[in-house]
Structure 1
Amino acid sequence: MTVFNKVEFDNHEQVVFCSDEESGLKAIIAVHNTQLGPAVGGCRLWDYASDEDAVYDVLRLSKGMTYKNAVARLPFGGGKSVIIGDAKKIKSESLFRAFGRQLERLSGSYYSAEDVNITTADVAIMNKETNYVLGLEGKSGNPSPFTALGTFLGIKAAFKHMNGHEDLSGVKVSVQGLGAVAYSLCEYLHGVGAQLFVTDINQASIDRVVKDFNAIAVDIDEIYDLDVDVYAPCALGATINDETIPRIKAKIIAGCANNQLAESRHGEVLREKGVLYAPDYVINAGGIINVWYETLEGGYNEAASTKHVEGIYTTLCEIFERSKTEQKSTHLIADELAQEIIKNGL
């Protein structure tokens, strides 16, 4: 397995492979860039098909965190971690304590938090072995509602750019993936009268959203073929690819998943097709913004955090306008903005 010559490797400062025989821990920690501050990004627990898939994921995710934190104007660098395995089988106190000890060995170059299949309770166990974790209960807590708020506001910003107003009443939205963030997003959308079409690999998650928000359930593969206004990818990444783009009828793609574009070129393909894409690491930054507010000297301030998250709306409006003026895809505009901030500082 190679790392340095992978396309996803972008001069990462550190890629650390971790193991612990007693707990069964197999993990990878990737620190992409610490120019603006210590690398911060959540830990994902996933049953990857291969070690190569795990490396691919952690490299893409950690770079995305560098850009996400920069555009959100946070004094954080970018990092990410993955624990390899089936969450239903391997979760244990010893696993998370072992991972916490691995974080401690990095001496603060990387701070972890919750992500897919990791809860704030799991992070609290890591915290028994290290202080290099964020998003703790009793401080900023669960970041999911803030990620959902930012995503909801991002959808409104995209709709306003395309249609001149942000009234989502009667607007058809397909939501792919119904985890904690997506559930809250569906709640926001239902509250303003949007019509929801949803899918997930977990039937219980589908049933809950159908019951609570009068959503219409569709098959996993059918989600791409729906005649909707907005496609909201909220599961894992790379769902926007050569196979799915010709099938997507939505004129707006705006969701909370990371790494939605399978390849960078797909952003330009969307632009040429007339689809407005809300760059993932901009629209889904609400969670990491909220986490930052627990690091401040005066302690966590929910009102200040919420106001900062609401700024995602303005940032996306600026990106959409620059994209239109410069005739360049939105994800490239977002990348340029991130690179400017990293180079010049906050």
Structure 2
Amino acid sequence: MKDLIRDWDGEYVVTRYDKKTESWMFIAVHSTVLGNASGGTRMKVYPTPEDGLRDAQRLATGMTYKWAGVDFPLGGGKGVIALSRAVSGEEREHLLERYGDLVESLRGSFSTGADLGVGPESVKVIGRETSHVFGLRGAGDPGPWTALGVFTSVEAVARELFGTSDLKGRTVLVQGLGDVGIPLCKRLYAAGAKLKLADVDPNRATGIADELGGEAVDADGVYSEPCDIFVPCAVGGILNPETISQLQCAGVAGAANNQLETREDAMRLHERGILYSPDYICNAGGAVALCGLEALGMSDDYVTRKILSIGDALDAIFAEAKEKGEPPLDATERRVRQVLERGPA
């Protein structure tokens, strides 16, 4: 564990061993260059504590890229409660309270919210011991905010590919019809897009397709389904050599985290002539809204404008990538480095 912490390129890791549950708590802070660190907390059973630590470090790095990619005044951090076994009831509740005490001890240098295994009710429990949580003070469901960012990303992809952001008549395939996918589909429908919808629950896909005049498609065959823009809003790691070879789309822009199985898959998409919009840019809307409204006191109008500016950021990324003949991921990472080198705006 010592080597993992020493060799990481982040700023610091806070660790606490919870003897009562034999669990490890990790708060990984990757960067505070742009502001105090902020990111959700994940709780699950890990094979070893080191696996939990690696996850916290990886996710914290991703938050740095998300915030810097949209030039937002927060730093990258993430919490992980690495369980050795499942916990429930009062034992789970008290564990979350003790984690809240750990967050509070950092005096605002790290704020947190929901993630895998830590839902809204769990955030309320953490919030008993610390004020440095988001999702409790009226920002509402982040799904529609994330959907707004993905929608403006889809428009940016269309603008780059087809010379116009007008989606009327464009076929958009949405994979995953949850808290983000459904409000996104409604925006796409209002914009005149032809919808193809896929979900692990075929009845859900059929019902929403019927409501919005779209077409439900088989979730297992989604990658070979012809469309203009593919919008993954379900699980990560779905863009890999096997699926990329099947794609029949011109562009990809979605809400799912970590869509690329490996970084090399960005080049595979580029070599196939498929325009890929990096996921941590597309899906930043929900995080921007929650933290902007609750932690930074921004207005709804300001947050809306900030999320819509994701499209402007992608315009610049695509233009730079095209000029250099490189995947947009390369231009995005360069943008992140430039923002971090510059510091707070």
TM-score by length of 2: 0.86
Given that 1:294 and 1:301 are in contact with CA atoms closer than 8 Å, whether structure 2 keeps it comes out as no
Q: Match for residue 315 of structure 1?
A: 313
Q: Match for residue 333 of structure 1?
A: 331
1:113-152 paired onto structure 2 within 5 Å: 113-116=113-116, 118-138=118-138, 140-152=139-151
Q: Match for residue 9 of structure 2?
A: 11
Q: Match for residue 295 of structure 1?
A: 295
* CA apart distance, 1:197: 2.9
* Secondary structure of the structure 2 residue equivalent to 1:255: coil
Given that 2:40 and 2:113 are in contact with CA atoms closer than 8 Å, whether structure 1 keeps it comes out as yes
Cα distance in structure 2, aligned partners of 1:289 and 1:189: 21
* CA apart distance, 1:122: 3.2
Q: Match for residue 259 of structure 1?
A: 258
Deviations 1:183-216 (A, max 9, x none): 2212211222323333344567546534543444
Specify the code of the residue in structure 1 equivalent to 2:70: A
* CA apart distance, 1:63: 1.1
Note if 1:271 corresponds to 2:270: yes
Specify the code of the residue in structure 1 equivalent to 2:133: V
Q: Which moved more, 1:202-211 or 1:176-185?
A: 202-211
Note if 1:66 corresponds to 2:102: no
Change in Cα spacing, 1:109 to 1:236, as seen in structure 2 (3 Å) is farther
Specify the code of the residue in structure 2 equivalent to 1:103: V
Change in Cα spacing, 1:261 to 1:93, as seen in structure 2 (3 Å) is same
Note if 1:195 corresponds to 2:194: yes
Q: Which moved more, 1:106-115 or 1:233-242?
A: 106-115
Note if 1:29 corresponds to 2:10: no
* CA apart distance, 1:51: 6.2
Change in Cα spacing, 1:175 to 1:46, as seen in structure 2 (3 Å) is farther
Q: Match for residue 112 of structure 1?
A: 112
Q: 2:342 aligns with which of 336, 341, 344?
A: 344
Cα distance in structure 2, aligned partners of 1:63 and 1:263: 15
* Secondary structure of the structure 2 residue equivalent to 1:227: coil
* CA apart distance, 1:163: 0.3
Specify the code of the residue in structure 1 equivalent to 2:293: Y
Specify the code of the residue in structure 2 equivalent to 1:31: V
1:20-99 paired onto structure 2 within 5 Å: 20=18, 28-45=26-43, 54-83=52-81, 90=88, 93-99=93-99
Specify the code of the residue in structure 2 equivalent to 1:144: G
Given that 2:5 and 2:13 are in contact with CA atoms closer than 8 Å, whether structure 1 keeps it comes out as no
Q: Which moved more, 1:30-39 or 1:201-210?
A: 201-210
Unaligned runs of 5+ in 2: none
Identity of aligned residues (%): 35
Given that 1:120 and 1:142 are in contact with CA atoms closer than 8 Å, whether structure 2 keeps it comes out as no
Given that 2:4 and 2:54 are in contact with CA atoms closer than 8 Å, whether structure 1 keeps it comes out as no
* CA apart distance, 1:321: 0.6
Cα distance in structure 2, aligned partners of 1:90 and 1:207: 36
Cα distance in structure 2, aligned partners of 1:178 and 1:48: 28
Cα distance in structure 2, aligned partners of 1:49 and 1:232: 32
Change in Cα spacing, 1:306 to 1:121, as seen in structure 2 (3 Å) is farther
Cα distance in structure 1, aligned partners of 2:53 and 2:22: 18
* CA apart distance, 1:55: 4.8
* CA apart distance, 1:20: 4.2
* Secondary structure of the structure 1 residue equivalent to 2:27: strand
Cα distance in structure 1, aligned partners of 2:94 and 2:34: 33
Cα distance in structure 1, aligned partners of 2:234 and 2:23: 24
Q: Match for residue 246 of structure 1?
A: 245
Unaligned runs of 5+ in 1: none
Q: Which moved more, 1:257-266 or 1:19-28?
A: 19-28
* CA apart distance, 1:246: 0.6
Deviations 1:288-343 (A, max 9, x none): 221223333xx441111111111111111111111111111101101111111101
Q: Which structure: larger Rg? A: 2
User: RMSD over aligned Cα, in angstroms?
Assistant: 3.1
Q: Match for residue 212 of structure 2?
A: 213
TM-score by length of 1: 0.85
* CA apart distance, 1:229: 1.4
Cα distance in structure 2, aligned partners of 1:52 and 1:177: 31
Specify the code of the residue in structure 2 equivalent to 1:191: A
